[in-house]
Structure 1
Amino acid sequence: MAVRCRRSSAPLALLLVLPLAACAATPSGGTGTSTRTSTRTAASTSSSAPTPAGTAGVTSASTTCTGHAFTIALGRATKEVAGVTAHYGTLHASAHCPGARGASVLESRVAALVASRLKEWSQAWSGAAGQSGPGRASFENSLTVPVNTSGLVVVASKVDSYAGGAHPDTELDSVTVDTRTGQVLTRDSVVAEMRRAGGPAWDFDRELDRGASAALRGRNQQASPPALHLRTADVQVYPTPQGLRVTADGLGAAIGAVEFTIAWDRLVAPGDSMSFIPAGWR
């Protein structure tokens, strides 16, 4: 049975429904069912604020859902730690169309990820404040949804924080869910599938070095940037239409965090099919 969509009464800025192609026009005069979302926050947080306008996709008033993308509501929350207000993102996910799996898995994984980063910073800053008294500190977390398409949803997290010391920190994380199975896709599972298809000559570390060098050249305008010699264990990855997105942090004060994309044609042969690459991406 087709599920029909109509415009939600929730604030437009809270709704992130991708892709828009998940809905096709219904016959004239048809009606739809409303899709509602709300932002959940932990008991220890203050009230949420909506995601800034412009980050959400909005479905037509007369549409019929055919895809498996999630409906995602992003929000903001705060927590007081040793006299400092930490700001972080919240997320609520639900299946936009019947058959999509893993919305609750995505929601819980993202919440756990943000809570873990917040706890690490809280412990570091509480210790520093206890030794030297109140001072400058900050915790800013943002959540984005770079991929939300039939079969695949990715949420990316970025934390910019300072808890004393010589320099601030940037931490990049992501959670990827296969909406066909509801399972989380890990870096190791994605890399292993490409390695099996590529055979003995396939070299992911070589592509990491190539991509990192290009990213540093673009950032610093250096002809010969410092070699990072990244390895698989140093990075996180997630699929995008353009290629495999790679993020690495904790690389030292001089470098900080690095992000770059490795094109699919450098990783996957034209005739190979990967379970984590949706149809139409290659």
Structure 2
Amino acid sequence: MLVIIMDPPWRIKGAQQNDSSFMFSNSKFNLEYDTLSNQEIMNLKVERLSRKGFLFLWILSNQINTAYEMMNKWGYEVVDQVVWIKLKDKKIYLSHGYYFMHSFEMCLIGYKCPPGEQIEYNTKICNDVLFGEVRAKSQKPEELYEIADMLMPGSKKIELFARNHNLRAGWFSLGNQLGETYEKWYNIVNCDNCNEPIYIGIKRYKARHEPDYDLCEKCFESLEKNHDDFFQMNNLVNEDVLHKYHSCNHCMTEPIWGVRFACIDCENFDLCECCFD
């Protein structure tokens, strides 16, 4: 694996009931999932997953020194960091903290490469600050995955401690909160006019010539646009289809998960929706 993303279940001080008698140790900090101690996270054999490449590690701001130690143990040098400024309705989001209110999260970026070897990757693809809306609990911004994809396009990628809402085509996801036992995940597309989600089972209209532009049925019928510039996608299935015998001929993702675009003029030429857009 050339790219690893980790969002460990850090043991937040005050997150456990009866953590201490200190006034801030109350139920507001209770978490809905099991946590790991710093030593338990450090003992994970992350170094065995990759000989070289990048590690994106989401951390707690008060555990930054411990996170550096973890990176070093796993063979990575911390080369940069990405800060996610949390937004809610386009305003700075305030969440509970132990001493101060929190409005950001930090992701350390580690790099390793054995002596005498090289890694091909793209540089200067973005800046180190993300502004993104807060969504489901523990759900991180989509932009980080896009950064990883742009950094090393077509490479093998894995996410540890993944959840259903983190699943992405072309990624290998590991976590104990994946599957039907937990909230069902859908590859939800938002209407680019009203910004409402277009769930699977609802018609959507994709632009033929404008990249990554989709409309719900209501907006499609009301907008003064040339309807010939769109094609209809019925979304008849109840969940994303895994096209196990088809790979994307652009990004080489195999298999294609979700919508598959097949060329009607070429033989055996397919694209995933990301590459089509």
Question: Normalised by the size of structure 2, how large is the TM-score?
Answer: 0.27
Answer 1 or 2: which has greater helix percent.
Answer: 1
TM-score when normalising by structure 1 = 0.26
